[in-house]
Amino acid sequence: GVGDPGGVVGTPRAPEPGAAAAAVAARVASAVAAGVRDERDAWCAADAEASAAIAAGLAAHAGPTEPAVARAVLAAAPTGGTVVVGASMPVRDVEWYGLPRDDVQVVSNRGANGIDGVVSTAVGVALAGAPTVALMGDITFLHDQNGLIGLGRRAVDLVVVVVDNDGGGIFS
C-alpha cells in the first residue's frame, strides 16, 4: 500500500490520538511514580554528547557558517526577547544547532513562497514591545525589505541579522 510500500505491515492501525496520548501519559506517570529516571538520564547524556559534538564541529570551521550564525543569534538574544526566524535554512539551523532556551520565544511564519513577509513579521513582533532579533537569508530579506520603511520614526527594539548565503541552497 501507499503507507507500506514494502508490504511488511500485517495490520495497519491508525490509533485515536486521544487514546494514544492517554496511554503515553499513563506510562510516563507510572515511570515517574516508580522513580525511574534511567531513560531520562540517558537522553540527557546523549543530548549533552551531541551538543558537544556540534560545538566542536562548528568551531572547526575557519569562518562563519550558517549553523554557527544561527546558534550565535539564538544565544545572544536577550532574555524575554523574541527571535523571528526566516524560512528555509535559518529555521532549520536554529532547530538543529541552537542551544535550548526557555527564556526566549522563537517564532517563524510561512508565506506563499516561504519567504513572504518575514521582515514585516519581525517588525510587528518588535512593535508589540519585546526586544526582537530576526534571522533570515539574503533573498528573504530582499523580498520584504520594504517592511523596514518608516521605522526611523518609531521606537522599536529590532536587530535584523541577514545571512549572505547566495539565495540559500535547500534545494541545491
pLDDT one-digit tens code per residue, 127-138: 999 999 999 999
Determine whether 158 is exposed, middle or buried from the number of CB atoms within 10 Å of its CB (0-12, 13-18, 19+). Answer: buried
Phi-psi region of 141 (alpha: psi -120 to 50; beta: other; left: phi over 0): alpha
Query: d(Cα 42, Cα 160) in Å, to the nearest integer?
Result: 38
* Cβ atoms within 10 Å of 125's Cβ, excluding its own: 22
Per DSSP, helices labelled H in 6-65 are 17-33, 38-59
**Between the CA of residue 124 and those of 58, 73, 90, 94, 119, what are the distances in Å?**
32, 19, 19, 21, 9
pLDDT value, residue 25? 81
pLDDT one-digit tens code per residue, 64-100: 899 999 999 999 999 999 999 998 789 999 999 999 9
pLDDT value, residue 109? 85
Give the pTM: 0.74
Strands 105-107 and 132-137: what pairing?
unpaired
pLDDT category of residue 1 using cuts at 50, 70 and 90: very low
Query: d(Cα 19, Cα 12) in Å, to the nearest integer?
Result: 17
pLDDT: which is higher, 158 or 7: 158
Q: What mean pLDDT, rounded, does the chain reach?
A: 85
